[in-house]
Structure 1
Amino acid sequence: MSLTTDVLPTLYQHYTAGGIHSGLNADKPYFTLNDRNVTLYSGSLHYFRVPKAYWRDRLRKLRAAGLNAIETYIPWNLHEPQPGWYDFGDGGSDMQEFLDLREFLRTVKEEDLFAIVRPGPYICTEWEFGGFPSWLLRENDLKIRTSDESYMKHVRRYFNVLLPILALLQFTKGGPVVAFQVENEYGSTEQKGKFTPDRAYLRELRDLYTSNNIVELLVTSDGTSSHRDRGTLPGVFLQTSNFAGNPEREFDVLRELQPNRPVMAMEFWTGWFDHWSEVHHLRNDDDFKRITERILKYPASVNMYMFHGGTNFGFMNGANLKNGLVDNSGYQPDTTSYDYDAPLSENGDYTIKYVMVKELLKKYNNIPTRLPQTPSETPSIAYDASPITHQLILQEVLANQQPVLNKSVVPMELLPINNNTGQSYGYVVYRKRFSTIPANSVLRIGGRVCDTVVVLLNGKLMSKPLNNVDDLNGFGFWNVKNGDLSLGPENRPGAVLDLLVENWGRVNFGNVKQFAQFKGLWQDGVYLNNELIRDWEIYPLEFKRSWTGNLSGWRETGETLPTGAGLYKTRFFVNNTMDTYVDMSDWCKGIVIVNDFVLGRYSRIGPQQTLYLPAPLLKTGWNQVIIFEHYNPSKYVKFSDKPIFKTRNERHPIETPTSFYTQVLSN
């Protein structure tokens, strides 16, 4: 006679009956938790990519699939936006509502799940700068991801605040956290003849954990068959593996390196992420199921990366650099959507992969515990299209701003703002006033743009819009070095030249040198007719909530909207807040701001054509949408009840994804 789920024990009842005596142990060929056998069936779900109001919904859906744990990274750049200023849900930053780490982990336990926490300090995860705060770039010769003291002093300060929070949430202290990952894919930093992973750095991180009363299992993760044990401390940390396919190869190497210890995939890639200009990545469902079953049959523990991808809200998407390049050539910015083709979609809907996971775990999990009923899906709506009613062109936006004066162009990170910690995100405008710009003048931007530039002369758009992927090979984008632009056949007395430069996301993965990701114009000077331009007015445009909310001087729109950079505003009325998608397919390139919060980026080149707008970001009554468009605005803001991507017509197996990231892990 089989037990019904109602009379089964909960996860915590099973593993804590009789009291808690020990945590997750890896000293046998299998895991034990509190001296009871356990196989970890985990899914990645990052609290900072999901609105707080939806945490419980997503966690319950994950538990209902039969998983017993979640994995989350912790983003340093959000939790310490300036040195010594911390935000863990009450710090006042624009992302405050996403950052209550204590509440998230308490909710994890309430939903009968364990937690694997990956605090970094480097996290990758297709996140801006791999989770590093941009103010690290202000220190000369700072060597991130090493035992370099100029780097470690910041890590120590941050970890000595973060780790005591986590220490109170450990399993052996009555919390949900059963394991911590130290650093992240550290073996992939190796460059023959150039860089060797710094094990003194790993020892310093370990000491920080132990000195802050962290007692749970410490692990590392890498592409094990590629990097073996070069990114870990053998015998100190449990090594786990990251891969998309061929699990037996990875697990066999783990067994060779760590005999008589359990094997685990810390990242089994359920799908893949998108760069702008690509087609939307989809992983073949049957292939996913086959690889998942091979993992479970081995048998091994697994963390499915991602189980629910969520969204890179605001400016928080990361980027890659192809082929080890460091000068911004080969730049690949990630999209705002982090759907990942995961078992739970970006808005938390179920996919066929979810059903497959549920069926496989029911088959292979030999320690049944009580599961919740599968929650219903969250409904979505296509609100009526809303006409643009007001506008501000860039020159009007800058009229009330105070510029930074500087002899030469400098990157945004070195601007003397934000308590002298520089600018992290958004845009920077470099302005130069001329008595005259002669006819047939040529503007040259030395080096490569980091990352895009829009050129305006007396407010008129001079550079070409980004209408298709081929335009990335022209002036104004990172593919071009020392780009030239003709300013036209007229003499222009009293000319004002504006160079609007966008940070489209700092690199999140690569060799150590690739992390020197300054944004703006800085690789060389700017020239007019081969003469270096000096004495600039520099305007940071960060689009913080407080700044956007105080914009003034809005003008009603006319029959036609101007080309060039500007802000466009509309409102729409909501009786009952529901999830929706902002459809930007009629616009060119820019960002969408809802109720003063930067929702994310859009670009005609795709693949993403809609921005997920979850109900918690809306309010009953009037809601405001502001579009910052670089080139060509539309007259309406449209909505959809589903996401729209430029995509392939069929799904392809991903035994080895052909992305830069995986190529590096496989080499």
Structure 2
Amino acid sequence: MAFNPRILLGLLSLITIGASADLPTLYEYYTEGGINSGLSVDQPYFTLNGKNISIYSGAIHYFRVPPELWQDRLRKLRAAGLNTVETYIAWNIHEPQDGVFDFGDGGTESGGWADLPGFIKLAQQEDLFVILRPGPYICGEWEFGGFPSWLLRNDGIKLRQDDDVFLNYVQRYFDQLLPILSELQFTKGGPIIMVQVENELGFSWYIDTNYLQKIYDMVRGGGIVELLSSCDGASSEQIGTLPGLLFQTIDFGSDIEGNFGKLEEIQPNKPVMAMEFYPGWADHWTEQHHTTDPNDFRNNYEQALAWPGSANLYMFHGGTNWGFLNGANNGVGDNSNFQPITTTYDFDAPLTEAGDYTPKYDIIRELTKKYSAVETYTPDPPEVKERRVYSSLDLNGQLRFEDILRQAPDKIESDVPLSMEMLPINQNSG
């Protein structure tokens, strides 16, 4: 009989499956016997479908990663022992023009940068649960906090406040977004276990509880039945939430006792969770690349898991701020200091901008295995992508600035300077 390599590959696959057959996947374990309930915080620990769970999560923003690399990054996240992926949802990606929406084709194959449903389905395919943070404001060092720039064409609009003009735009956007998310909720057989309402409203913004209540009502009214959360700092003056309606999470990367302890005071008899647990930080232009010591990260992360607490690593894989979509940080009052974010969003994360493993990745694998109360099948880390060197190119010409201007598709004459949002281009979306 002639040698057939397909048979050998099939036998190896059976051996691999047999070796792990005694360990269920996440979905096998948490959906065994049918789905009766979602993520619960009615006790001092999380339960999912009635079973205990600690949320070991990592942030990957689909809009910062080329779609053809989504699967690789998600597989590496699951192989680190994490059970959940978190992402912001960037409004300006999905409504680039006023009233024109783009959510891709919803398939698990690449449907473009805006294929949010495809990313969510791919996460489930890779045995991951999903936390979504649709804002509408998402911060994240992203252009205009995720708001479409054309919103500023409305003179006097009040962002993130109880303003009818702004809220009407949010409602129109949510009317397109939420039906897509609704069908992908855990209690409907999908991966979404938690949805955050707004984002860090208490950090540096006037806390308009009427506005927050209306965003909450939109999300619930849009068919989202899973756990709804908010996210802020741990100090009492930084809390922007709706007690009894939103599960409160916080942001930090150190002083676990101080932060989780404060959260337990604010929100007693509930599980504690860091929605943004920082293994690194973003870079601003003119600064040195931010790095954090892996040993410091190990100590902080282990203290958080041993509390016991849940944590979403922000970022697990930062990716890239493509085009002109990098945002900026800015202080308030006397601390005002404009700090534009670089193109890279490496964040000194456990997985580099290029998708390579770092010492922090190995630490995560070690600690999630140590503290996981439930042992499920965890795949081995995928191989790192092959690197190639581009061939050299000879320069044989140049374009002068006036040559570029002559080729510009839109030419606008104005006696006064116009902001980019007010330019009558892009279907009057600036």
Q: Same fold (TM over 0.5)?
A: yes
Partner AA of 2:137 in structure 1: Y
CA distance in 2, matches of 1:394, 1:228: 48
Give 1:95-244 correspondences, 5 Å limit: 97-190=112-205, 196-225=206-235, 227-229=237-239, 231-244=240-253
CA distance in 1, matches of 2:361, 2:20: 19
Name 1:421's counterpart in structure 2.
429
Contact kept, 8 Å, 1:225 with 1:249, in 2: the verdict is: no
Name 1:28's counterpart in structure 2.
43
Contact kept, 8 Å, 1:145 with 1:201, in 2: the verdict is: yes
> How far has the Cα of 1:390 moved from its partner?
2.9
Return the TM-score normalized by structure 1: 0.60
Give 1:572-611 correspondences, 5 Å limit: none
Give 1:477-556 correspondences, 5 Å limit: none
CA distances 1:324-347 after superposition (whole Å, capped 9, x unpaired) = 479xx8321111111111011111
Name 2:14's counterpart in structure 1.
none
CA distances 1:461-519 after superposition (whole Å, capped 9, x unpaired) = xxxxxxxxxxxxxxxxxxxxxxxxxxxxxxxxxxxxxxxxxxxxxxxxxxxxxxxxxxx
> How far has the Cα of 1:388 moved from its partner?
2.0
CA distance in 2, matches of 1:400, 1:71: 42
Name 2:415's counterpart in structure 1.
407
Name 1:578's counterpart in structure 2.
none
Name 1:332's counterpart in structure 2.
339
1:284 to 273, 289, 293: 293
Q: Secondary structure at the match of 1:160?
A: helix
Matched, 1:70 2:80: no
Of the two, which has the highest radius of gyration? 1
Contact kept, 8 Å, 2:236 with 2:266, in 1: the verdict is: no
CA distance in 2, matches of 1:260, 1:109: 30
> How far has the Cα of 1:42 moved from its partner?
0.3
CA distances 1:254-288 after superposition (whole Å, capped 9, x unpaired) = 11111111110000011011011000000111000
> How far has the Cα of 1:391 moved from its partner?
1.8
Name 2:4's counterpart in structure 1.
none
Contact kept, 8 Å, 1:29 with 1:261, in 2: the verdict is: yes
> How far has the Cα of 1:197 moved from its partner?
0.3
Contact kept, 8 Å, 1:5 with 1:369, in 2: the verdict is: no
CA distances 1:179-200 after superposition (whole Å, capped 9, x unpaired) = 000000010134xxxxx30011
1:395 to 379, 390, 402: 402
Classify 1:363/1:129 alpha carbon distance in 2 versus 1 (closer, same or farther; 3 Å). same
Partner AA of 1:344 in structure 2: L
Matched, 1:296 2:321: no
CA distances 1:185-244 after superposition (whole Å, capped 9, x unpaired) = 010134xxxxx3001111111111111111000000111126353x10011100001012
Partner AA of 2:371 in structure 1: Y
> How far has the Cα of 1:4 moved from its partner?
6.1
> How far has the Cα of 1:52 moved from its partner?
1.1
Name 2:283's counterpart in structure 1.
274
Partner AA of 1:250 in structure 2: N
Partner AA of 2:272 in structure 1: V
CA distances 1:378-406 after superposition (whole Å, capped 9, x unpaired) = 11122233222232111112224452121
1:313 to 309, 316, 322: 322
Name 2:5's counterpart in structure 1.
none
Partner AA of 2:190 in structure 1: G
- Identity rate, percent: 53
CA distances 1:509-565 after superposition (whole Å, capped 9, x unpaired) = xxxxxxxxxxxxxxxxxxxxxxxxxxxxxxxxxxxxxxxxxxxxxxxxxxxxxxxxx
Partner AA of 2:72 in structure 1: D
Bigger share in strand: 1
Greater RCO structure (CA 8 Å; 6+ sep): 2
CA distance in 2, matches of 1:403, 1:112: 50
Partner AA of 1:369 in structure 2: T
Name 1:248's counterpart in structure 2.
257
CA distances 1:91-118 after superposition (whole Å, capped 9, x unpaired) = 9xxx972111111111111100000000
Question: Any unmatched runs of 5+ in structure 2?
Answer: 1-17
Question: Any unmatched runs of 5+ in structure 1?
Answer: 191-195, 423-667
Partner AA of 1:115 in structure 2: V
